[in-house]
């Protein structure tokens, strides 16, 4: 049995909150560069260039890429042979969010659903815990902005809708979202499972290296087809017209009930922020 | 690339009539911030027949909730938030003399009608470019609703704040026209 101090976890989560918000991952920067090469709209190219400059300023000056520093979404892979000492795992994570958003000058964006009163410290976080074999603890912090989250949907298709139904729903979702979610977007798709599991799969799909393909050739092909259909919509950077509406489509799949075909589309803005650490 | 148009607040009817979709502008002068919760309070004041906390005539409202400034900064990161959430409120403010709005994403037909009737223009700023856009903000001061934190109303002084005319006073919409041009 390995022991990990709760205060150590807090320290790491705090650091990840700041890094995720200041330092846009390389894969996203690479996707901006690729997008610039195919973008036909001069305004679109200019927007992509400004996004590159923005990321550079944020990284160099250690300021947030975007003012929406997001909901603190945290994925944990907890080894079965790990014991947390000196506190609880969930409280350690929440404290890390509290300190990271406070000391990192990040925006506090969490409020009561009815009164809209801000909780003041960006807690509570959303925590997803997976138990895995071994004695490691992996922490992924993925701050999620509200604008693109608002454009996301879960639907329960009929099995007869098939792959065509899945494609149509995803492409229509992106079309209806237009410029709202800050295109060029990253589209996370969850197919199968149950109502809530499809949504979780879609969120996990956003954690993948931007533009990587699913290991299953059929899903990899589907990702490519859907990306082409989305980019043929013409929405473009910021929705003002152009060839690059999405940087990537990532699909994750799981078996489903004989009666169901759950589908979730989780849209991420161009700021594909996530940082991880293995302890 | 066409040279951006410099505009200064407060804006006149003629200033906004001169702007067409696709125009790139650099905004100078005083602008005000407001997003979801502040808009609700402003509209409540109008419905109660009370004065607004600032003179809205000829002004621009920027839909933004900035991050807290680090020591030495005027303001934290400050990019636009999605505008459709303000659609229910904007027509009341436009009727009171608001001449410009800065946000991201298309506006509703009700907002478009008010923009045409009272002469008001809608600018898109680059969403997610909060660190870059903050460079154009030279002064920031909370003037109302401090309790709302990031949603408080701020008076900003901006220099060469870059934006694009997305919907003009003639009912033209760059979100529709731009998409048409590049769709396959």
How do the pLDDT tens digits run along chain A, 279 residues long?
999 999 999 999 999 999 999 999 999 999 999 999 999 999 999 999 999 999 999 999 999 999 999 999 999 999 999 999 999 999 999 999 999 999 999 999 999 999 999 999 999 999 999 999 999 999 999 999 999 999 999 999 999 999 999 999 999 999 999 999 999 999 999 999 999 999 999 999 999 999 999 999 999 999 999 999 999 999 999 999 999 999 999 999 999 999 999 999 999 999 999 999 999
**A167 with A257, same domain?**
yes
**Residue A70 CB partners (closer than 8 Å, separation 6+):** A21, A109, A143, A144, A145, A146, A273
Chains A & B: contacts with CB separation below 8 Å = 168
Q: Is A41 within a domain?
A: no
CA distance B99 to B16: 7
Q: Is A28 within a domain?
A: no
CA distance A192 to A149: 20
User: Chain-centre distance of CA A226, in angstroms?
Assistant: 18
With a cut of 70, say whether residue B1 has pLDDT above it. no
Q: Return the CATH number at B135.
A: 3.20.130.10
SS3 A55: helix
**A10 with A73, same domain?**
yes
Domain boundary among A121, A143, A165: A143
Interface contact B124, partner A, CB < 8 A: yes
**A108 with A137, same domain?**
yes
Q: Is A157 within a domain?
A: yes
Model pLDDT, residue B46? 96
And the tokens for A49? 């260039």
**A81 with A214, same domain?**
no
Query: Would you call B77 and A271 a contact, using CB atoms and an 8 Å cutoff?
Result: no
Is residue B118 among the annotated active site residues?
no
Q: Is A53 within a domain?
A: no
Task: Name the catalytic one among B39, B99, B107, B154.
Answer: B39
Q: Which chain B residues are within 8 Å of A239, Cβ to Cβ?
A: 104-106, 124, 175, 178-179
ipTM over 0.85: yes
| A37 burial type by CB count under 10 A (0-12 exposed, 13-18 middle, 19+ buried) | exposed
**A100 with A202, same domain?**
no
Model pLDDT, residue B108? 98
**A129 with A8, same domain?**
yes
Q: Which residues span the domain enclosing A166?
A: 146-273
The closest alpha carbon to A13, from A126, A114, A156, belongs to A126
Query: Would you call A105 and B69 a contact, using CB atoms and an 8 Å cutoff?
Result: yes
**A96 with A195, same domain?**
no
Instruction: Please state the domain count of chain A.
Output: 2
Instruction: Determine the longest span between alpha carbons in chain A, in angstroms.
Output: 58
Q: Which chain B residues are within 8 Å of A178, Cβ to Cβ?
A: 105-106, 175, 179
| A83 burial type by CB count under 10 A (0-12 exposed, 13-18 middle, 19+ buried) | exposed
**A83 with A205, same domain?**
no
**Contact present, B42 and B91 (Cβ < 8 Å):** no
Interface contact B172, partner A, CB < 8 A: no
* DSSP 8-state code for residue A212: P
Per-residue confidence at B2, pLDDT binned at 50, 70, 90? confident
Q: Is A40 within a domain?
A: no
Q: Is A196 within a domain?
A: yes
Q: In terms of CA atoms, which chain A residue is nearest residue B24?
A: A43
CA distance B102 to B81: 9
Query: Would you call A182 and B104 a contact, using CB atoms and an 8 Å cutoff?
Result: yes
Domain boundary among A143, A161, A182: A143
The closest alpha carbon to A46, from A56, A35, A61, A57, belongs to A35
* DSSP 8-state code for residue B24: E
**A171 with A120, same domain?**
no
**Contact present, B156 and B137 (Cβ < 8 Å):** yes
Instruction: Please state the domain count of chain B.
Output: 1
**A188 with A170, same domain?**
yes
Other CB atoms closer than 10 Å to residue B51's CB: what's the count? 8
Nearest Cβ partner for A66 among B84, B130, B174: B130
Q: Is A56 within a domain?
A: no
Q: Which residues span the domain enclosing B68?
A: 5-182
Interface contact B52, partner A, CB < 8 A: no
Q: Which chain B residues are within 8 Å of A271, Cβ to Cβ?
A: 128
Q: Is A181 within a domain?
A: yes
**A70 with A200, same domain?**
no
Nearest Cβ partner for B77 among A66, A116, A120: A66
Nearest Cβ partner for A241 among B64, B130, B178: B178
**A226 with A201, same domain?**
yes
């Amino acid at each position: 049995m390995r022991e990990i101090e709760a205060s150590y976890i807090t320290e790491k989560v705090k650091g990840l909150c700041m890094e995720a918000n200041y330092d846009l991952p390389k894969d996203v920067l690479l996707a901006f560069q690729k997008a610039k090469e195919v973008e036909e709209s001069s305004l679109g190219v200019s927007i992509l260039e400004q996004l590159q400059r923005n990321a550079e300023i944020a990284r160099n000056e250690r300021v947030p890429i975007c003012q929406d520093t997001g909901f603190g979404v945290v994925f944990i892979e907890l080894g079965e042979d790990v014991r947390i000492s000196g506190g609880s795992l969930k409280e350690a994570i929440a404290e890390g969010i509290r300190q990271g958003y406070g000391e990192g000058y990040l925006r506090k964006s969490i409020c009561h659903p009815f009164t809209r009163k801000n909780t003041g410290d960006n807690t509570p976080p959303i925590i997803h815990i997976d138990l895995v074999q071994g004695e490691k603890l992996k922490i992924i912090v993925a701050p999620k902005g509200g604008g693109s989250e608002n454009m996301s949907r879960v639907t329960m298709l009929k099995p007869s809708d098939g792959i065509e139904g899945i494609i149509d729903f995803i492409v229509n979702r992106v079309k209806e979202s237009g410029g709202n979610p800050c295109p060029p977007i990253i589209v996370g798709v969850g197919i199968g499972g149950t109502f809530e599991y499809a949504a979780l799969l879609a969120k996990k799909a956003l954690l993948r290296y931007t533009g990587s393909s699913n290991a299953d050739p059929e899903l990899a092909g589907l990702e490519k087809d859907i990306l082409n259909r989305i980019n043929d919509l013409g929405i473009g950077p910021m929705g003002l017209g152009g060839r690059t509406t999405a940087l990537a489509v990532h699909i994750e799949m799981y078996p489903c009930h004989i009666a169901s075909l759950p589908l979730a589309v989780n849209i991420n803005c161009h700021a594909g922020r996530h940082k991880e650490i293995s302890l | 690339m066409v040279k951006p148009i410099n505009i200064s607040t407060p804006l006149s009817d003629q200033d906004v009539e001169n702007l067409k979709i696709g125009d790139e502008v650099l905004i100078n002068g005083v602008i005000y911030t407001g997003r979801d919760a502040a808009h609700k309070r402003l509209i409540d004041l109008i419905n109660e027949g009370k004065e607004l906390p600032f003179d809205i005539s000829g002004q621009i409202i920027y839909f933004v909730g900035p991050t807290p400034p680090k020591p030495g900064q005027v303001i934290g990161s400050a990019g636009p938030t999605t505008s459709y959430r303000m659609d229910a409120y904007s027509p009341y403010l436009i009727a009171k003399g608001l001449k410009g709005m800065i946000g991201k994403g298309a506006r509703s037909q009700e907002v478009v009608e008010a923009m045409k009737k009272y002469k008001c223009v809608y600018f898109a700023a680059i969403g997610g470019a909060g660190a870059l856009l903050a460079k154009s903000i030279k002064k920031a001061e909370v003037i109302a609703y401090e309790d709302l934190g990031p949603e408080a109303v701020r008076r900003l002084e901006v220099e060469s704040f870059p934006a694009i005319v997305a919907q003009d006073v003639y009912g033209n919409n760059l979100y529709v026209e731009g998409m048409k041009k590049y769709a396959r």
